[in-house]
Amino acid sequence: MKMIKKRIGYLVFATILICMSGCGRKETGSELLTETKEAVEPVKETVEPAVEETAQGIALHIYSGDEQAENIVRQTVYMDEVSERGVMEQLVAALEMDPAVELKSVSFGTHGGEKVVMLDLNQAFADYVSRMSTSGEYIVMGSLTNTFLECYQSELLLLTVEGKVLETGHAIYEEYLGMYPYVEAPYRIQEMVLGEGDMKISCPQIEGLADEQIQGKWNRIFLGTEERVMDTWDGSGSYEVNYEVKTMTPDTLSILMNGYIYGEEEKPYSFKYTYNIDLNTGESIRLKDHVDVQKVAENMFSGTGYYVDEALAPHFVERLSAIYESPDALARSLEGYDYSEDGSAPYGYSYIADGRVWICMEVPHELGDYIEIELDAQ
């Protein structure tokens, strides 16, 4: 079953209709739209797109319809540089819009503490959308909204056509739009239960991935890891492993494995390991691939740039100073986090959740064996 990202489709602006002057209606063709626009506080400084530079180019998330035109999905494209019109050109291509569709202007502001993107498109866009079915219009409007909101890290979008309200045969777009629901990934994670008796392992298996080679490679890795443990387990006590899918998008799969060993002690020994996969290349994603480990280490030593459970924070600081004599030593350790393609044992693990990077760092048993650390956005 496809996982749906539960986000607000429409943020309904309070529809308190106040009598407006005739010029207000003439300006936009809608009193409500005029009122909504006037409530936006313009942003004076330049607003830069929130994108990531990679080896392939600048990564941009573009939303569009799936092959069945049933759901909005997210894909990644790579550009030499990202501009407002460049984003629109990518959308036109992804949605197979009329090539005459153009973005006339983009402006930014705030309303009630939330960031607002204001788009003005040409008449060709209105003509194109008006010819679509209800579901087709939903896909186009949702893809446009999600792409610009994510690119410019905003919460609300206001759309006009040639400065006026967009009216189609299905809707009048007078109010703010928020993120539309979208399909997280066109594949599934299926549980494979291994072991018997006092050993129980929940092993993840990918199903439905378009690239069968990548799917097969990682399913063998997941299964092989657990089978090796089963072969070496001495049978004393009990052994349990389960998993949490932390990120599941068309581009990235991040899985946290949680293990527990129950013996004579009242408190079980716990352990963690992770899998982070680039589904475009089939390669492992390591901590050093998406954060500056030197900067992370310096921040940790200075007590900034990360979040841990408040009760564990003092113990974590003590742990750092006891093990690592300097930020450089910690950075060298962080550089070795996560599985590499050469099969070498990692120094620790990380995972990705809600766009943030988390580190799983080993601590003494009395503190829970592992501590999970959320890093500030890099």
| Stretch (H or E) spanning 75 | strand 72-79
User: Which pLDDT score, from 0 to 100, does residue 284 have?
Assistant: 95
3-state class (DSSP) for residue 365:
helix
The per-residue pLDDT for 353 is 84
Confidence of residue 9 (pLDDT cuts 50, 70, 90): very low
Tokens of 107: 């402006």
Whether residue 378 is predicted with pLDDT greater than 80 in this model: the reply is no
Quick one: pLDDT at residue 178?
A: 95
Distance between CA atoms of 202 and 120, rounded to whole angstroms? 50
Which residue in this structure is represented by tokens 């990531």? 52
pLDDT in tens, 12-70: 333 322 333 333 445 778 889 898 889 999 998 889 998 888 766 788 889 998 766 77
Bigger pLDDT: 184 vs 272: 272
Q: Which residues make Cβ contacts (< 8 Å) with residue 167, sequence separation at least 6?
A: 29, 126, 173
pTM higher than the cut 0.95:
no
Note the pLDDT tens digit of each residue in 318-377: 888 888 999 999 999 999 999 987 778 899 999 998 778 999 988 778 777 888 999 986
Torsion of CA 67, 69, 73, 79, to 10 degrees: 70
Tens digits of residue pLDDT in 189-227: 889 999 988 999 999 999 989 899 999 999 999 999 999
Contact at 8 Å (CB) between 201 and 271?
no
In the chain the first and final C-alpha atoms are separated, in Å, by 33
What whole-number distance in Å separates Cα of residue 157 and Cα of residue 142?
11
Q: How much of the chain is in helix, strand and coil states, percent to nearest 5?
A: 30, 35, 40
Instruction: Please tell me the predicted confidence (pLDDT) of residue 21.
Output: 36
Note the pLDDT tens digit of each residue in 167-179: 998 999 999 999 9
**Lowest-confidence pick of 50-59, 87-96, 123-132:** 50-59
**Cα–Cα distance between 62 and 144 in angstroms, integer?**
9
Rounded to the nearest angstrom, the gap between the alpha carbon of residue 45 and the centroid of all alpha carbons in its chain is 26
Q: How far apart are CA 358 and CA 373, in angstroms?
A: 5
pLDDT given for residue 203 in this prediction: 96
Given a cut of 70, whether residue 92 has pLDDT beyond it is yes
Q: CA 20 from chain center: how many Å? A: 41
Q: How far is CA 156 from the centre of its chain?
A: 18
Q: Which residues contact 252 (CB under 8 A, 6 or more apart)?
A: 276, 277, 278, 279, 285, 352
Give the integer Cα–Cα distance in Å for 321 and 367.
Answer: 16
C-beta of residue 3 within 8 angstroms of C-beta of residue 248: yes
H-helix segments, 2-113: 22-28, 31-38, 84-94
Residue 185 phi/psi, 5° resolution?
A: -155, 140
Q: Write out the two tokens for 212.
A: 């069968």
Ramachandran category for residue 57: left, alpha or beta (phi over 0 → left; psi -120 to 50 → alpha)? left
Please indicate whether residue 53 or residue 107 has the higher confidence score (pLDDT). 107
Q: Exposure string (b/e) for 309-329, b if CB count within 10 Å is 16 or more?
A: eeebeebbeebbeeebeebee
As a three-state string, the secondary structure of 303-341 is: CCCEECCCCCHHHHHHHHHHHCCCHHHHHHHHHCCCCCC
